[in-house]
């Protein structure tokens, strides 16, 4: 018996493979949304557990941390925010979607903080002062902020100066070697001799030769930055196809145009790889130089904290240093994506 038109309008079987796939997956988005929301709720519970443990359980006898209650209250506030944003993600737009995407990491972080708090401040499973609790590190940011901020500013100035000099000289040297055979004949052997040596190996010579520890540290940071930038820029210029030069010469291009408008733009992807490598190397040299010779900066702060057994200060400085390095790499990636728009997303950070 044929079906009525009303029943046909209410339910229609898929007539193709594409419609069948869409029909079969129609119920998946609500399930995915439910799972994402549950992970966010679990993350909120983990942070709530951290806050309640901080507030309700007594600290060990050796502990004297003034920020325990503030840390516990802040953790409860974060837990409430995570739960609200997870449940109301559709109404919070990009913020809610971003939180749901990061919910597993927030869950893991909440669990780690809870275990950390229990193992240090509440039960003393880990020996003090080598393993301070979270509130001890927060105290560093509240009580010792002027000294830490001064150290950060000193490191930023030293890092930016040395990195800029090394990147500029490395770029110019790399372009010169890649373009000119005569320049490569003289510079290449020197590069092969000096470049592979760690920049920190030049510490005694640098501090003896330069008039101040600041200028010596700047030289070492520039040296650590310049080698990878030089090699990668040279590689980029040397790998440019001759067809580009032939087309430009046919149109009447001069040698300066070939360098500035053909060779350098084509070599920019390699240049940024060298800049990324130089940035990591320069941070390593920065810390060593500040520990040994410079009387300011995060490296000096680490050395001072270790000497006084202020391990909370040391961990706080390490966190700041990690954020600075990660932020610098992120900023460099933004510049790369802006200049090399056709390669955006090829390399991610």
List pLDDT tens digits, range 224-250. Answer: 999 999 999 999 999 888 888 888 888
Q: Does the pLDDT of residue 24 top 50, yes or no?
A: no
Average pLDDT over residues 152-172: 94
**pLDDT for residue 37:** 62
CA separation (Å) from 9 to 3, 6, 202?
Answer: 10, 5, 82
Q: Does the pLDDT of residue 67 top 50, yes or no?
A: yes
Burial 169-205 (b: 16+ CB within 10 A, else e): bbbebbbbbbbeeeebeebeeebeeeeeeebbebbee
Confidence of residue 148 (pLDDT cuts 50, 70, 90): very high
Q: Does the pLDDT of residue 325 top 60, yes or no?
A: yes
Confidence of residue 35 (pLDDT cuts 50, 70, 90): low
Contacts of 282 (CB under 8 A, 6+ apart): 159, 162, 163, 166, 221, 224, 225
Q: Does the pLDDT of residue 301 top 70, yes or no?
A: yes
**pLDDT for residue 184:** 87
**pLDDT for residue 21:** 45
Least confident of 33-37, 76-80, 218-222, 271-275: 33-37
**pLDDT for residue 345:** 65
Average pLDDT over residues 85-108: 84
**pLDDT for residue 5:** 42
Enclosing H/E stretch for 46: helix 28-56
68-93: pLDDT as tens digits: 999 999 999 999 999 888 887 778 78
**pLDDT for residue 36:** 54
Confidence of residue 311 (pLDDT cuts 50, 70, 90): very high
Question: How many Å apart are CA 275 and CA 250, to the nearest integer?
Answer: 33
Q: Mean pLDDT highest for which of 161-170, 262-271, 301-310, 329-338? A: 161-170
Alpha-helical regions (H) of 102-240: 103-117, 134-143, 145-179, 181-194, 203-209, 213-238
């Amino acid at each position: 018996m044929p079906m009525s038109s009303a029943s046909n309008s209410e339910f229609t079987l898929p007539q193709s493979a594409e419609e069948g796939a869409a029909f079969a997956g129609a119920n998946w988005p609500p399930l995915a949304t439910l799972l994402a929301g549950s992970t966010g709720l679990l993350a909120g519970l983990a942070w709530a557990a951290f806050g309640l443990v901080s507030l309700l359980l007594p600290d060990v006898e050796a502990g004297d941390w003034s920020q325990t209650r503030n840390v516990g209250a802040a953790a409860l506030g974060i837990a409430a925010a995570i739960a609200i944003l997870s449940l109301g993600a559709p109404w919070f737009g990009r913020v809610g979607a971003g939180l749901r995407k990061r919910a597993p990491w927030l869950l893991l972080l909440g669990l780690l903080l809870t275990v950390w708090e229990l193992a240090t401040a509440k039960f003393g499973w880990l020996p003090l002062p080598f393993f301070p609790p979270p509130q001890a590190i927060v105290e560093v940011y509240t009580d010792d902020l002027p000294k830490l901020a001064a150290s950060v500013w000193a490191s930023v100035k030293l890092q930016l100066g040395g990195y800029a000099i090394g990147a500029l000289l490395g770029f110019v040297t790399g372009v010169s070697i890649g373009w000119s055979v005569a320049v490569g004949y003289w510079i290449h052997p020197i590069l092969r001799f000096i470049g592979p040596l760690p920049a920190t190996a030049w510490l005694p010579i640098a501090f003896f030769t330069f008039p101040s520890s600041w200028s010596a540290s700047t030289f070492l940071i520039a040296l650590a930055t310049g080698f990878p930038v030089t090699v990668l820029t040279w590689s980029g210029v040397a790998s440019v196809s001759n067809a580009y030069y032939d087309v430009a010469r046919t149109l009447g291009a001069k040698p300066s145009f070939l360098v500035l408008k053909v060779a350098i733009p084509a070599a920019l992807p390699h240049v940024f790889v060298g800049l990324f490598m130089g940035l990591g190397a320069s941070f390593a040299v920065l810390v060593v130089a500040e520990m040994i010779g410079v009387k300011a900066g995060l490296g000096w702060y680490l050395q001072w904290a270790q000497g006084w057994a202020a391990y909370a200060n040391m961990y706080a400085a390490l966190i700041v240093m990690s954020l600075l390095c990660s932020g610098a790499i992120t900023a460099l990636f933004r510049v790369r994506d802006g200049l090399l728009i056709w390669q955006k997303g090829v390399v991610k950070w």
